[in-house]
C-alpha cells in the first residue's frame, strides 16, 4: 500500500527506551486512528494508527493502515497504481475481499483472507494493488516493517504464507509472523517480529504468553476488547511496553471480536520515513525520490500494468527533522 497523502509527513524515528516497570499489570496506552484517503475522486479511506505523534514504532512495525469493511460498488475499491518502496517490508492481510498484487520482481499474486503476502523493498521495488472485479467488500490491514541498517539495501523479495489456525480458550489465532500459541511462521524477517490475527468468541477471556523483550500493539477491528485493564474500541490500538510476559484480552461483546496483535523488540536505530521511503537521512529520501521520478532501474518496471505510475509528492521545504517516541512516563 502507498502513503498517497499529498503532504506526506516527514518522520525521524528512534528507539523508545523503557525504564524499570512497576510491579503489577503492564501499562496500556490507547492510540486512536486518523482517517487518510488513498487518493482519487472516489478515494477509499483508511484508518492509520502508525505512525502518529504519540508513537512512531512498535518494534520494527512502522506503519499500520486498517480499512473496511468497504462496499466496493458504493465507495470504490482499492486502486493503487505502481508506486515505490525502499528500506522496508510490506505485510498484506485481508479479512474479506481480494487484491491483485504485481511487482517489479515479476510477481503476480492475489491477496486473500487468511493468506499473508510479504514484500521486501530493500534497495528499491515498485508494486501495484488493485481489488479484483469479483470483490464486493474489501476489509483488512496493510502493515510496514522497517529494515535494520545492515539489510536496508537488501534485494527485492516476495513471500506468501497461509498460517494454520490455532484454537485456544475461545479464540482462533492465525500467526503470520513470529511465534505465538504454539504456532511459528516460516516467513523470514530481518528483526524478531510478531504478527497474528486473533478472533475471540463472545465474552471469551484469553491469556497468551508473550516475549517480555517485545513491545506489543493490539489493533481492534471489531468488538470491544479489554486488554489487561483497558477497553479498546474498534479502530483503536493498545500499546504495551516491553516487560510483559503475558497479555490477557477479554471480548466484552455478544459477538465475535477480531484483533491483530503486533510485537517486536524496540527498534534500536533511528530512521527517516517519508512517503513510501525509509532511509537514515534526509539525503537518502531525496535520492530515492529523484530515482523514482527519473524512472530509474532502482525500482524496475511492471510491464503489464494497464496505466501510469503514482508520482511522488513534493518534498518538504526543509531538512527532515527528528521526531521521536514520547519519553517513558
Tens-place pLDDT, residues 199-238 = 999 999 999 999 999 999 999 999 999 999 999 999 999 9
Is 280 within the bounds of a domain? Answer: no
Task: List pLDDT tens digits, range 31-49.
Answer: 999 998 875 445 688 999 9
Is 113 within the bounds of a domain? Answer: yes
**In the predicted model, is pLDDT for residue 174 greater than 70?**
yes
Query: Mean of the pLDDT values across residues 16-41?
Result: 70
Is 51 within the bounds of a domain? Answer: yes
Q: Residue 55's pLDDT band (boundaries 50, 70, 90)?
A: very high
pLDDT of residue 306: 86
Name, in order, each residue with C-beta under 8 angstroms of 228's C-beta and a sequence gap of 6 or more. 25, 26, 28, 240, 244, 247, 248
Q: Comparing 1-15, 42-56, 130-144, 197-211, which segment has the lowest mean pLDDT?
A: 1-15
**In the predicted model, is pLDDT for residue 16 greater than 60?**
no
Q: What are phi and psi of 328, to 5 degrees?
A: -65, 135
Q: Residue 7's pLDDT band (boundaries 50, 70, 90)?
A: low
Tally of domains within the chain: 1
Starting at the edge strand found earlier in the chain, the sheet holding 246-251 runs 205-209, 246-251, 225-227, 230-232
Question: Quick one: DSSP state of residue 289?
Answer: H
- Whole domain around residue 79: which residue ranges? 10-14+25-264
Name, in order, each residue with C-beta under 8 angstroms of 58's C-beta and a sequence gap of 6 or more. 50, 215, 216, 217, 239, 262, 263, 264
Query: Mean of the pLDDT values across residues 280-284?
Result: 93
**In the predicted model, is pLDDT for residue 86 greater than 70?**
yes
Is 109 within the bounds of a domain? Answer: yes
* 171-177 and 246-251 strand pairing: unpaired
pLDDT of residue 1: 57
First-to-last C-alpha distance (Å) of the chain: 33
Q: Residue 323's pLDDT band (boundaries 50, 70, 90)?
A: low
Name, in order, each residue with C-beta under 8 angstroms of 112's C-beta and a sequence gap of 6 or more. 94, 98
Is 252 within the bounds of a domain? Answer: yes
Please report, for the domain that includes residue 53, its CATH number.
Answer: 2.60.120.10
DSSP, collapsed to helix, strand or coil, labels residue 153 as coil
Q: Residue 22's pLDDT band (boundaries 50, 70, 90)?
A: very low
Location of C-alpha cell 484469553: 206
DSSP letter for each residue of 159-179: EEE-PPPEEETTEEEEEEESE
Is 165 within the bounds of a domain? Answer: yes
Closest listed residue to residue 132, CA positions, set 72, 70, 74: 72
Amino acid at each position: 500500500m502507498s502513503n498517497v497523502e499529498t503532504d506526506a509527513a516527514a518522520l525521524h524515528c528512534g528507539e523508545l527506551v523503557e525504564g524499570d516497570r512497576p510491579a503489577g499489570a503492564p501499562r496500556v496506552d490507547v492510540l486512536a486512528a486518523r482517517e487518510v484517503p488513498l487518493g482519487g475522486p472516489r478515494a477509499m479511506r483508511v484508518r492509520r494508527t502508525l505512525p502518529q505523534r504519540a508513537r512512531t514504532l512498535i518494534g520494527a512495525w512502522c506503519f499500520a493502515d486498517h480499512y473496511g469493511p468497504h462496499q466496493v460498488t458504493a465507495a470504490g475499491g482499492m486502486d493503487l497504481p505502481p508506486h515505490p518502496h525502499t528500506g522496508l517490508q510490506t505485510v498484506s492481510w485481508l479479512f474479506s475481499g481480494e487484491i491483485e498484487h504485481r511487482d517489479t520482481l515479476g510477481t503476480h499474486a492475489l491477496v486473500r483472507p487468511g493468506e499473508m503476502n510479504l514484500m521486501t523493498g530493500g534497495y528499491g521495488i515498485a508494486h501495484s494493488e488493485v481489488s479484483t472485479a469479483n470483490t464486493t467488500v474489501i476489509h483488512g490491514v496493510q502493515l510496514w516493517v522497517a529494515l535494520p541498517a545492515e539489510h536496508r539495501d537488501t534485494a527485492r523479495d516476495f513471500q506468501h504464507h497461509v498460517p494454520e489456525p490455532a484454537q485456544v480458550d475461545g479464540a482462533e489465532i492465525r500467526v503470520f509472523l513470529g511465534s505465538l500459541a504454539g504456532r511459528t511462521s516460516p516467513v523470514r524477517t530481518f528483526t524478531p517480529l510478531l504478527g497474528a490475527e486473533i478472533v475471540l468468541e463472545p465474552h471469551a477471556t484469553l491469556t497468551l504468553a508473550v516475549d517480555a523483550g517485545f513491545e506489543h500493539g493490539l489493533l481492534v477491528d471489531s468488538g470491544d476488547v479489554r486488554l489487561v485493564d483497558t477497553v479498546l474500541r474498534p479502530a483503536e490500538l493498545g500499546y504495551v511496553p516491553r516487560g510483559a510476559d503475558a497479555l490477557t484480552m477479554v471480548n466484552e461483546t455478544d459477538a465475535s471480536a477480531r484483533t491483530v496483535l503486533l510485537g517486536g523488540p524496540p527498534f534500536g536505530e533511528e530512521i527517516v520515513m517519508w512517503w513510501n521511503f525509509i532511509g537514515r537521512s534526509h539525503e537518502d529520501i531525496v535520492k530515492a525520490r529523484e530515482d523514482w521520478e527519473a524512472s530509474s532501474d532502482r525500482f524496475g518496471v511492471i510491464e503489464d500494468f494497464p496505466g501510469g505510475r503514482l508520482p511522488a509528492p513534493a518534498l518538504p521545504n526543509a531538512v527532515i527533522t527528528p521526531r521521536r517516541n514520547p519519553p517513558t512516563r
